[in-house]
């Protein structure tokens, strides 16, 4: 069931989203070649705790028998890793790496969710274009995140823009509603037909998140049970924000 948030609930979500945005601003200042992904994870954890919140992803259940709960604050996925990469002391960020980070912050009963992709050091022209198109796909999608439109309008706009630019969207994973739970209804695919799906109403809070692959859209799950990787080894990027549907234009809660 789709949740319509009250003004009080939206106020609480704003704070979780503010902290999410703050973490990314601080990561952008420190991320560099030679860092381990675990260093970044601990850095983010400290900021979250200093702001009276907790990392919602830490301990999130895998849902797969024999696969442990997610062990870290951040999902950090590098180059051909699409999403859900597990931070590690042994995974060192190199010059030119495409580093996608996904974070959910929980505070006072509500979640804020966002993802960013960073090109560390001297990235290739191809990598920069991929990251730019992925980010722009989000903004193309939310042009349709207005009262009376449907989820399919957002999905169609994202998929059409990505494919027009020669890339592929991941179809096995999607955006989602968000609020008291990290994942709520409705699901928000990054492809589909316009005019389909749940109708948008003021008070809905959504995590819209294009996941884009430079090559073919085929993916596989790594042996760790979490990390999703491109089948052909091509680069991937991820961009996400939590948005609020209003009476007019959508408000991006994780860009503050």
Q: What is the pLDDT of residue 79?
A: 98
Instruction: Name residue 214's beta-bridge partners.
Output: none
Write out the DSSP string of 56-101.
TTTT----STTPPPP-SS-EEEETTEEE-PPP-TT-B--TT-EEEE
pLDDT 10s per residue in the chain (256 long)? 899 999 999 999 999 999 999 999 999 999 999 999 999 999 999 999 999 999 999 999 999 999 999 999 999 999 999 999 999 999 999 999 999 999 999 999 999 999 999 999 999 999 999 999 999 999 999 999 999 999 999 999 999 999 999 999 999 999 999 999 999 999 999 999 999 999 999 999 999 999 999 999 999 999 999 999 999 999 999 999 999 999 999 999 999 8
What domains appear along the chain, each with residue ranges and CATH number? 7-252 (3.90.230.10)
Q: What is the pLDDT of residue 103?
A: 98
Q: How far apart are the first and last CA of the chain?
A: 29
d(CA 62, CA 256): 31
- The arrangement of strands across the sheet holding 205-208 comes to 184-188, 175-177, 205-208, 241-244, 251-252
With beta carbons less than 8 A apart as the criterion, state whether 137 and 179 touch: no
Q: What is the pTM of this model?
A: 0.97
Q: Which residue carries 């890793």 as its tokens? A: 81
Q: What is the pLDDT of residue 256?
A: 81
At residue 47, the 3 state secondary structure works out as helix
d(CA 121, CA 212): 21
With beta carbons less than 8 A apart as the criterion, state whether 245 and 200 touch: yes
């Amino acid at each position: 069931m789709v949740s319509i948030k009250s003004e009080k609930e939206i106020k609480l979500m704003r704070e979780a989203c503010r902290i999410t945005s703050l973490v990314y601003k601080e990561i952008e200042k420190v991320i560099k070649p030679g860092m381990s992904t675990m260093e970044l994870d601990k850095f983010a954890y400290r900021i979250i705790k200093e702001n009276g919140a907790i990392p919602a992803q830490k301990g999130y259940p895998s849902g797969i028998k024999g696969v442990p709960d997610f062990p870290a604050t951040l999902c950090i996925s590098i180059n051909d890793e699409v999403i859900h990469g597990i931070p590690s002391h042994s995974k060192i960020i190199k010059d030119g790496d495409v580093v996608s980070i996904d974070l959910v912050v929980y505070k006072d009963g509500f979640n804020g969710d966002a993802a960013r992709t960073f090109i560390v050091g001297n990235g290739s022209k191809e990598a920069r274009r991929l990251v730019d198109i992925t980010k722009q796909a989000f903004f193309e999608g939310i042009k349709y995140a207005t009262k009376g439109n449907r989820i399919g309008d957002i999905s169609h706009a994202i998929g059409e823009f990505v494919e027009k630019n020669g890339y592929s969207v991941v179809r096995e994973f999607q955006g989602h509603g968000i609020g008291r739970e990290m994942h709520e209804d409705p699901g928000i695919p990054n492809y589909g037909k316009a005019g389909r799906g749940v109708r948008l109403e003021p008070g809905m809070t959504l995590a819209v998140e294009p996941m884009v692959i430079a090559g073919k859209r085929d993916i596989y799950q790594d042996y760790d049970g979490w990390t999703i990787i491109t089948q052909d080894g091509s680069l991937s990027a991820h961009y996400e924000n939590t948005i609020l549907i209003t009476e007019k234009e959508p408000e991006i809660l994780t860009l503050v």
